[in-house]
Amino acid sequence: MMIKQQETINNVTTENERLIEERKIMEDQNKELNRTLGLILKFENIPAKDLCPNKECKACQKNWIPFQKKCYFFYSPHPWLTWSKSRDFCQDKHADLVVIDDLEEQEFVSNHTKYYYDNDHGYWMGLQQTNNNWIWVDGRRDTLGFWVKENLRTSGPKALLIPKRKFTESWAKAGDGFANKFICEREALLGFM
Protein backbone atom coordinates (compact mmCIF):
# COMPACT_ATOMS: atom_id res chain seq x y z
CA MET A 1 0.00 0.00 0.00
CA MET A 2 2.78 2.42 0.94
CA ILE A 3 4.70 1.59 -2.23
CA LYS A 4 1.58 2.18 -4.33
CA GLN A 5 1.04 5.60 -2.71
CA GLN A 6 4.68 6.55 -3.27
CA GLU A 7 4.39 5.50 -6.91
CA THR A 8 1.25 7.62 -7.30
CA ILE A 9 2.98 10.60 -5.67
CA ASN A 10 5.95 10.18 -8.02
CA ASN A 11 3.65 10.02 -11.05
CA VAL A 12 1.73 13.11 -9.95
CA THR A 13 5.00 14.97 -9.28
CA THR A 14 6.37 14.02 -12.71
CA GLU A 15 3.12 15.09 -14.39
CA ASN A 16 3.13 18.37 -12.45
CA GLU A 17 6.73 19.10 -13.53
CA ARG A 18 5.80 18.35 -17.16
CA LEU A 19 2.81 20.71 -16.96
CA ILE A 20 4.95 23.45 -15.40
CA GLU A 21 7.47 23.08 -18.25
CA GLU A 22 4.67 23.16 -20.87
CA ARG A 23 3.25 26.29 -19.25
CA LYS A 24 6.68 27.97 -19.36
CA ILE A 25 7.02 27.11 -23.06
CA MET A 26 3.56 28.53 -23.77
CA GLU A 27 4.33 31.71 -21.81
CA ASP A 28 7.56 32.15 -23.81
CA GLN A 29 5.67 31.62 -27.07
CA ASN A 30 3.06 34.15 -25.96
CA LYS A 31 5.78 36.72 -25.17
CA GLU A 32 7.37 36.12 -28.57
CA LEU A 33 4.02 36.53 -30.35
CA ASN A 34 3.34 39.77 -28.46
CA ARG A 35 6.82 41.06 -29.33
CA THR A 36 6.27 40.15 -32.98
CA LEU A 37 2.88 41.87 -32.96
CA GLY A 38 4.49 44.98 -31.49
CA LEU A 39 7.08 44.97 -34.28
CA ILE A 40 4.41 44.49 -36.92
CA LEU A 41 2.44 47.43 -35.56
CA LYS A 42 5.58 49.57 -35.32
CA PHE A 43 6.47 48.88 -38.94
CA GLU A 44 2.88 48.75 -40.20
CA ASN A 45 3.64 50.84 -43.28
CA ILE A 46 6.36 48.49 -44.50
CA PRO A 47 4.89 45.59 -46.49
CA ALA A 48 5.34 42.29 -44.66
CA LYS A 49 6.72 40.73 -47.83
CA ASP A 50 9.67 43.14 -47.65
CA LEU A 51 10.58 42.23 -44.06
CA CYS A 52 9.49 38.61 -44.09
CA PRO A 53 10.04 37.15 -47.58
CA ASN A 54 8.94 33.52 -47.79
CA LYS A 55 7.44 33.99 -44.30
CA GLU A 56 10.91 34.17 -42.75
CA CYS A 57 11.56 37.51 -41.08
CA LYS A 58 14.88 39.32 -41.33
CA ALA A 59 16.27 42.23 -39.33
CA CYS A 60 16.44 44.39 -42.47
CA GLN A 61 14.78 44.59 -45.84
CA LYS A 62 16.51 43.27 -48.96
CA ASN A 63 19.49 45.45 -49.95
CA TRP A 64 19.73 46.98 -46.44
CA ILE A 65 22.71 46.16 -44.20
CA PRO A 66 22.21 45.49 -40.45
CA PHE A 67 24.50 47.04 -37.83
CA GLN A 68 23.91 47.79 -34.12
CA LYS A 69 20.10 47.40 -34.15
CA LYS A 70 19.73 49.54 -37.27
CA CYS A 71 19.52 48.98 -41.01
CA TYR A 72 21.44 50.98 -43.61
CA PHE A 73 20.79 51.53 -47.29
CA PHE A 74 23.62 52.91 -49.42
CA TYR A 75 22.09 54.58 -52.47
CA SER A 76 24.40 54.68 -55.46
CA PRO A 77 22.56 54.47 -58.81
CA HIS A 78 22.64 57.40 -61.18
CA PRO A 79 21.08 59.96 -61.11
CA TRP A 80 22.38 61.05 -57.72
CA LEU A 81 20.12 63.27 -55.65
CA THR A 82 20.19 66.55 -53.75
CA TRP A 83 20.12 66.46 -49.94
CA SER A 84 16.38 67.23 -49.85
CA LYS A 85 15.49 64.62 -52.48
CA SER A 86 17.74 62.09 -50.73
CA ARG A 87 15.89 62.69 -47.49
CA ASP A 88 12.53 62.33 -49.27
CA PHE A 89 13.73 59.02 -50.74
CA CYS A 90 14.72 57.72 -47.29
CA GLN A 91 11.46 58.85 -45.70
CA ASP A 92 9.50 57.10 -48.44
CA LYS A 93 11.29 53.94 -47.23
CA HIS A 94 10.22 54.64 -43.60
CA ALA A 95 13.77 55.72 -42.77
CA ASP A 96 15.79 58.95 -42.74
CA LEU A 97 19.25 60.09 -43.71
CA VAL A 98 21.88 58.50 -41.47
CA VAL A 99 22.61 59.97 -38.04
CA ILE A 100 26.09 59.06 -36.78
CA ASP A 101 25.94 58.24 -33.05
CA ASP A 102 29.52 57.13 -32.36
CA LEU A 103 32.91 56.24 -33.84
CA GLU A 104 31.88 52.60 -34.41
CA GLU A 105 28.94 53.66 -36.55
CA GLN A 106 31.13 56.18 -38.40
CA GLU A 107 33.64 53.42 -39.15
CA PHE A 108 30.89 51.01 -40.30
CA VAL A 109 29.34 53.61 -42.62
CA SER A 110 32.74 54.70 -43.97
CA ASN A 111 33.68 51.09 -44.73
CA HIS A 112 30.56 50.72 -46.88
CA THR A 113 31.10 53.82 -49.01
CA LYS A 114 33.05 53.90 -52.26
CA TYR A 115 34.98 56.66 -53.98
CA TYR A 116 33.21 57.98 -57.08
CA TYR A 117 33.49 60.82 -59.55
CA ASP A 118 35.91 63.14 -57.68
CA ASN A 119 37.22 64.11 -54.21
CA ASP A 120 34.29 66.46 -53.57
CA HIS A 121 31.52 63.89 -54.03
CA GLY A 122 30.35 61.77 -51.13
CA TYR A 123 27.27 60.44 -49.39
CA TRP A 124 24.64 62.68 -47.85
CA MET A 125 24.12 62.30 -44.11
CA GLY A 126 21.28 63.62 -41.98
CA LEU A 127 23.34 66.56 -40.73
CA GLN A 128 22.59 70.20 -41.54
CA GLN A 129 23.56 73.63 -40.30
CA THR A 130 20.87 75.59 -38.48
CA ASN A 131 21.64 78.92 -36.76
CA ASN A 132 25.40 78.24 -36.83
CA ASN A 133 24.93 74.80 -35.22
CA TRP A 134 25.19 71.42 -36.92
CA ILE A 135 21.99 69.52 -36.15
CA TRP A 136 21.10 65.91 -37.01
CA VAL A 137 17.71 65.15 -38.55
CA ASP A 138 16.63 63.63 -35.22
CA GLY A 139 17.07 67.08 -33.58
CA ARG A 140 20.33 66.43 -31.70
CA ARG A 141 23.37 68.70 -32.00
CA ASP A 142 26.46 67.10 -33.51
CA THR A 143 29.10 66.38 -30.89
CA LEU A 144 31.45 64.24 -33.01
CA GLY A 145 32.68 66.71 -35.63
CA PHE A 146 34.48 64.33 -37.99
CA TRP A 147 35.16 67.15 -40.48
CA VAL A 148 37.86 67.10 -43.16
CA LYS A 149 40.82 69.29 -42.25
CA GLU A 150 41.48 70.81 -45.67
CA ASN A 151 39.13 73.05 -47.64
CA LEU A 152 37.23 71.31 -50.41
CA ARG A 153 35.57 73.02 -53.35
CA THR A 154 32.16 72.48 -51.75
CA SER A 155 30.51 74.45 -48.99
CA GLY A 156 27.02 74.88 -47.68
CA PRO A 157 24.60 73.99 -44.90
CA LYS A 158 24.44 70.21 -45.49
CA ALA A 159 26.96 67.45 -44.70
CA LEU A 160 28.55 64.75 -46.84
CA LEU A 161 30.63 61.77 -45.80
CA ILE A 162 33.59 61.67 -48.21
CA PRO A 163 34.74 58.09 -48.94
CA LYS A 164 38.27 56.75 -48.51
CA ARG A 165 39.28 59.21 -45.82
CA LYS A 166 40.38 58.84 -42.21
CA PHE A 167 37.19 58.00 -40.26
CA THR A 168 37.55 60.99 -37.97
CA GLU A 169 38.19 63.43 -40.84
CA SER A 170 35.66 62.58 -43.53
CA TRP A 171 32.73 65.01 -43.32
CA ALA A 172 32.43 67.93 -45.72
CA LYS A 173 30.03 70.84 -46.06
CA ALA A 174 27.98 71.06 -49.25
CA GLY A 175 25.04 72.92 -50.72
CA ASP A 176 21.63 71.26 -50.94
CA GLY A 177 21.58 71.48 -54.74
CA PHE A 178 24.74 69.36 -55.11
CA ALA A 179 23.75 65.84 -56.32
CA ASN A 180 25.36 62.92 -54.45
CA LYS A 181 24.86 59.38 -53.30
CA PHE A 182 23.39 59.00 -49.79
CA ILE A 183 22.82 56.73 -46.80
CA CYS A 184 19.42 55.90 -45.29
CA GLU A 185 19.04 54.49 -41.78
CA ARG A 186 16.13 52.94 -39.88
CA GLU A 187 15.55 50.70 -36.90
CA ALA A 188 15.94 46.97 -37.42
CA LEU A 189 13.44 44.32 -36.43
CA LEU A 190 15.28 43.68 -33.17
CA GLY A 191 14.25 40.09 -32.61
CA PHE A 192 15.83 39.06 -35.88
CA MET A 193 19.36 40.49 -35.49
**pLDDT for the residue 192:** 55
Using the predicted structure, report yes or no on whether residue 134 has a pLDDT greater than 90.
yes
Average pLDDT, integer, range 130-148? 93
**Which helix (H) or strand (E) element contains residue 108?**
helix 103-111
Rounded to whole angstroms, how far apart are CA atoms 19 and 24?
9
Task: Using CB atoms within 10 Å of the CB of residue 61, give its burial: 0 to 12 exposed, 13 to 18 middle, 19+ buried.
Answer: buried
Pick the more confident residue, 9 or 177. Answer: 177
Rounded to whole angstroms, how far apart are CA atoms 173 and 128?
9
Check if the beta carbon of residue 184 is closer than 8 Å to that of residue 90. yes
Using the predicted structure, report yes or no on whether residue 191 has a pLDDT greater than 60.
no
**pLDDT for the residue 167:** 87
Pick the more confident residue, 111 or 58. Answer: 111
pLDDT in tens, 30-85: 777 766 666 666 656 666 666 676 777 778 888 999 999 999 999 998 899 999 99
Cα-to-chain-centroid distance, residue 138:
14
Pick the more confident residue, 142 or 9. Answer: 142
**pLDDT for the residue 107:** 96
**pLDDT for the residue 186:** 93
Averaged pLDDT score across all residues of the chain:
86
Residues 6+ apart with CB under 8 A from 71: 59, 60, 61, 64, 65, 95, 185, 186, 187, 188
Rounded to whole angstroms, how far apart are CA atoms 91 and 113?
21
Q: How confident is the model at residue 10 (pLDDT cuts 50, 70, 90)?
A: confident
**Model's pTM, two decimal places?**
0.75
Segments in the chain forming alpha helices (H): 2-42, 48-51, 83-92, 103-111
Report the candidate in 114, 113, 36, 102 with the shortest Cα–Cα distance to residue 68: 102
Rounded to whole angstroms, how far apart are CA atoms 55 and 60?
14
Q: Which residues on neighbouring strands pair with residue 96, listed in sequence order?
A: 185
In single-letter form, the type of residue at position 95 comes to A
For every residue of 41-73, DSSP letters joined together read HHTTTS-HHHHSGGG---SS-TT-EEETTEEEE
Q: How confident is the model at residue 153 (pLDDT cuts 50, 70, 90)?
A: low
Report the candidate in 78, 98, 79, 96 with the shortest Cα–Cα distance to residue 87: 96
pLDDT in tens, 159-172: 999 999 998 999 99
DSSP 32: H
In the chain, what percentage of residues exceed pLDDT 70? Answer: 87
Domain at 59-188, CATH homologous superfamily = Mannose-Binding Protein A, subunit A (3.10.100.10)
Domain extent listing, the chain: 2-42, 59-188
